[in-house]
Amino acid sequence: MNSLFPAMAAAGPMAAAWTAHTVWMRRRLDAARRDPLTGLDTRAAFERRAVRGLAKGPHVVLVLDLDGFKKLNDTFGHAAGDEAIRSTAASLDDTLTDRPGSVAARLGGDEFAAIVPLPDAAVLPWLLGGLHGEITAPFAYRGRTLAVGASIGAALTAALPTPSLSLALRRADEAMYAAKRSGGGWRVAEGIEPLPTVNGRRAGRSGTHGGAR
């Protein structure tokens, strides 16, 4: 029996090392799925989760882009821009907290996306209006009160031929760009046909509903 003690003693550090390695790997994987500035999903993680989510029922897919972000960066510096990005992410979290199954992501720069379960499309104007109000509310930065605008595009999966994430994102992006060309606010892509791109952006036009400022 005594011969077991050296083996058990050696196994202890090995088990501890393996546990530590497993925890480290999990943290690395989680970090790869999260945007380091906002804590939101990265594009790749968002796409994986969103595809699974859309299969469960009607959703609205959102694409949003900040207005006046470059001017804020140029005027107050990149740290102020980072704070605007963090504030936008917090607004997304606050708006979607009470909607289980929602997934939000930072796609890159000042562009974000989300999917939100929406069995009743009648509540969409309140959702978009509330989100737009949250994002454009002033935020504090080093003793100053700053603000950015926002353009939000939405696509209802129930209005699409198939609940495809790529198609929904494209329609939402078209609606977002239509809102941006109108001065900001929000647009729903219902009825918007796919449009050609111009320098990588969609040449949007007005949707069937609007709340542009």
Catalytic site includes residue 110:
yes
Task: Write out the DSSP string of the chain.
Answer: -TTHHHHHHHHHHHHHHHHHHHHHHHHHHHHHHB-TTT-PBPHHHHHHHHHHHHTTS-EEEEEEEEESHHHHHHHH-HHHHHHHHHHHHHHHHHHHTTSTT-EEEEEETTEEEEEEE-S-GGGHHHHHHHHHHHHHS-EEETTEEE--EEEEEEEEGGGSSS--HHHHHHHHHHHHHHHHHTTSEEEE-TTPPP--EETTEE-----SEE---
Of the candidates 35, 41, 67, 110, the residue annotated as catalytic is 110
Give the Cα separation of 169 and 111 in Å (integer): 12
- Alpha carbon separation from 2 to 13, 15, 24, 155 (Å, rounded): 19, 21, 35, 70
Q: Which residues are catalytic, by number?
A: 110
